[in-house]
Amino acid sequence: MKRIIQSLLGLGVLVGGAFLVYAWHPEIAKIEPPKPESFAAELVEKGRVLAGAGNCASCHTLKGGPDYAGGRGMHTPFGTLYVTNITPDVETGIGGWSEQAFARALRLGLARDGAHLFPGLPYTSYKNITDADVTALYAYFMTRKPVKMEEPKSTIPFPLNVRLFQAGWKLLFFAPTPMQSDPGKSAEWNRGAYLAEGLGHCTACHTPRNILGAEKTGAAHFSGALVDNWYAPSLKGKGDAALPWSANELYAYLRDGGSPLHGVAGGSMGHVIEGLNRLPDQDIRAMAVYFADLSGNPVDPSAQEVATLMARNGMLPASATAEEKRGEVIFKNSCAGCHYNPPGLPNVLRPELSLNSAVTGPDPTNLLRLTLEGVSIADGLKDAYMHGYAIGLSDANVAAVARYLRRTYGPANEEAHSAWNTLDKSVGALRAVGREHK
């Protein structure tokens, strides 16, 4: 018996020791901040474009705060994590970080001192960024204006806040090897895959997560997920919209923030498009090619197919409820003046709600929030704007409009999407979320 206990203890020490060896990473020594003049202007410019594609600002810049100085709270199911300052300030930012330390943070989720970072920094995607692109990003960030600003302490409770335990998470869910290019596919496809699965970290929002916050794999990859009170729709197969996404429509959406056959990019996707703006056309095209391929390369629908979907034209069935009929009146009075397309191809400036994933998808969050908050000039299409109805419509009226749109344009098989059953409750909760984000 004693022998067994002794060997079990021995095994425990061995496993624990092995874990510590795996989990422990050395500090990388502080450096004197490199002089901004030491970076070539073209390299800095390349880094600026890449920082847009990586959407660094949407997490690292607090609304109304100085660029990249952090402080934004990320709400996770476990508590609030505050994003760090990545300006080159030596004390509170990354001024003392060598390129090696910067690269290790982005690709392996390790701070300069060796502590594990939380996957709120999407290093699980950024691990795919090439050395050359990291070098350009480093040049860009080291030439920003240093800002002295300390982020608040995270509210993630003990023991989840113990950074060493993140090593356990990595052991379970993170393979640091970067993705390989696929020789069976075109150079364009591979470029798209590199941008989407790396810097673009599209999967961070569009893939559902398990209870430990790791992205699910296999069929779940890009199958749509609720994140930070927005629903990021499925990006493969038939998707969540009425029509599948062809390469042309993907290109229009990613380039201009809207596609006539789908609608516009609102919510957190608006910021993504703003960042992608800096990329050249061929990169946007490459991502469109990659995502169209994930969906089996659907061709553009025929005008007839589009017309059939649009011809449903907001007609409620005879069995409609009183709430749906009330929603119809509100829609015709408040929305239809703009959201009406005569027969033919829809005009992107008046998004055709019958084709929109906010109406046809499994979750009502986007429809409710876009109705309440509108779509700002920065989001969606350049120069287009829709004011919000947070003041104009009561919870019950927003719910009624959503119910009407869902009944006229949503899928016939309602049971699959039970989130639509509790619309009235959702409106109140999402109204509060919208206020917090203002």
Q: Which of residues 114-153 bind ligand HEC (CB under 6 A)?
A: 117-118, 120-122, 137
Max Cα–Cα distance, the chain, nearest Å: 84
Q: For residues 290 and 196, is the Cβ–Cβ distance under 8 A?
A: yes
On the question of a cis peptide bond just before residue 351, with omega within 30 degrees of 0, the verdict is no
Q: Which stretch binds ligand HEC (CB under 6 A): 12-20, 181-189, 237-245, 419-427?
A: 237-245
Q: For residues 387 and 314, is the Cβ–Cβ distance under 8 A?
A: no
Rank residues 7 and 282 by Cβ distance to ligand HEC and give the closer one. 282
Rank residues 19 and 92 by Cβ distance to ligand HEC and give the closer one. 92
Rank residues 81 and 139 by Cβ distance to ligand HEC and give the closer one. 81
Transcribe 40-73 into DSSP letters.
-HHHHHHHHHHHHHTTHHHHHB-TTS-TT-B-PE
Q: Which of 124, 143, 341, 356 binds ligand HEC (CB under 6 A)?
A: 356
Q: For residues 408 and 345, is the Cβ–Cβ distance under 8 A?
A: no
Alpha-carbon distances of 205 from 137, 202, 216, rounded to whole Å: 22, 6, 12
C-alpha to C-alpha distance for 285 and 189, rounded to whole angstroms: 9
C-alpha to C-alpha distance for 114 and 30, rounded to whole angstroms: 12
Q: Which of 264, 239, 266 has the alpha carbon at shortest distance from 252?
A: 264
Query: Cβ 313 to ligand HEC, closest distance in Å?
Result: 16
Q: Which of residues 8-67 bind ligand HEC (CB under 6 A)?
A: 51, 54-56, 59-60
Query: Residue number with the shortest CB distance to ligand HEC?
Result: 263
241-260 mask for ligand HEC (x: CB under 6 A)? x---x----x--xx---x--
Query: Cβ 258 to ligand HEC, closest distance in Å?
Result: 5
Q: For residues 242 and 352, is the Cβ–Cβ distance under 8 A?
A: no
Asked if 111 touches ligand HEC (CB under 6 A), the answer is yes
Q: Which two tokens stand for residue 73?
A: 């709270």
Q: Which of 371, 403, 409, 426 binds ligand HEC (CB under 6 A)?
A: 371
Q: Which stretch binds ligand HEC (CB under 6 A): 177-185, 236-244, 419-427, 429-437?
A: 236-244
Q: Which of 22, 145, 385, 394 binds ligand HEC (CB under 6 A)?
A: 385
**Half-sphere exposure for 48 (CA within 13 Å, toward CB):** 12
Asked if 309 touches ligand HEC (CB under 6 A), the answer is no
Q: Which of 84, 223, 341, 426 binds ligand HEC (CB under 6 A)?
A: 84
Rg, the chain, Cα only: 24
Rank residues 13 and 159 by Cβ distance to ligand HEC and give the closer one. 159
Angle, helices 267-276/41-53, rounded to nearest 10 degrees: 160
Q: Which stretch binds ligand HEC (CB under 6 A): 7-15, 81-89, 142-150, 173-181?
A: 81-89
Asked if 364 touches ligand HEC (CB under 6 A), the answer is no
Q: Which of residues 168-197 bind ligand HEC (CB under 6 A)?
A: 196
Q: Which of 334, 345, 424, 433 binds ligand HEC (CB under 6 A)?
A: 334
Q: Which of 62, 103, 264, 306 binds ligand HEC (CB under 6 A)?
A: 264
Asked if 342 touches ligand HEC (CB under 6 A), the answer is no
Asked if 286 touches ligand HEC (CB under 6 A), the answer is no
Q: Which of 56, 162, 176 has the alpha carbon at shortest distance from 118?
A: 162
Q: Which of 202, 242, 252, 423 binds ligand HEC (CB under 6 A)?
A: 202
Q: For residues 366 and 420, is the Cβ–Cβ distance under 8 A?
A: no
Q: Which of 105, 126, 127 has the alpha carbon at shortest distance from 117?
A: 105
Query: Cβ 57 to ligand HEC, closest distance in Å?
Result: 8
C-alpha to C-alpha distance for 425 and 438, rounded to whole angstroms: 21
Query: Cβ 194 to ligand HEC, closest distance in Å?
Result: 11
Cα 253–Cα 382–Cα 376 angle in degrees, nearest 5:
100
Rank residues 46 and 60 by Cβ distance to ligand HEC and give the closer one. 60
Q: Which of 28, 69, 94, 279 binds ligand HEC (CB under 6 A)?
A: 94
Query: Cβ 365 to ligand HEC, closest distance in Å?
Result: 8
